[in-house]
Structure 1
Amino acid sequence: MASRAFRLQMQGYGLTTANIFYRLPDHPNIIQSYIWQEYDLHPLFPELKKFLDFWARSLDGPLHGVTVAHAQLIRPAEMRLINGEFSLH
């Protein structure tokens, strides 16, 4: 049985990391960060949007900003047959 992560990558999902900046509820002048990481679809990021909607709806710390990085870990061009093997010392 293949792992959940592998199945998602085969469906086109890539690893998405979001650095979420938010203000502390008791001290709004202080900004803190939270790192979120999940497999998501570029460029619409439905999983990230669901999480940010949950944050805005349920948590007290108002969002200040979000920085997103995305990497599609498995690509068709990376999977190729090898005709030979060479070893060095």
Structure 2
Amino acid sequence: MGAGETELMLKGYGLTTAEFFYRMPDFRHVLNSYVWQDYDLAPDHPRLFRFIEFWQDSIEGPLHSVRFTHRRLLSSGNWENIVGEFTLH
């Protein structure tokens, strides 16, 4: 993980993975898939929607559907005060 990725995560970005199902240009009855992954901001997902717009404007295979998941890799943790002692020999 590079310094740029860490900075994005500290700014609230999470890893978004999307699977695009699209029709083959020459064989419209055949569906193919493409996996895209980038750091993005939930819930608006501006990078994902910008890529979808790029696809629709620049790629011949028309989109059938898109499914995606988003995972914040850094988030506030839960803190509990636990009193205990471990003895190691």
Q: TM-score range by the shorter chain?
A: 0.7 to 0.9
Amino acid at match of 2:26: D
Distance in 1, matches of 2:37 and 2:49, equals 13
Kindly tell me the number of residue pairs found equivalent between the two proteins. 84
Report the structure number with the largest CA radius of gyration: 2
The corresponding residue for 1:14 is 14
| TM-score, scaled to structure 2 | 0.84
Specify the alignment match of 2:64 in structure 1: 64
The TM-score with structure 1 as length reference comes to 0.84
Give CA-to-partner distance per residue, 1:13-45, whole Å, 9 cap, x none.
000000000000000000000000000011110
Name 1:5's counterpart in structure 2: 5
CA RMSD of aligned residues (A): 2.5
Q: Which runs of 5+ in 1 are unaligned?
A: 80-85
Identity value in percent: 45
* Structure 1 stretches of 4+ moved >3 Å: none
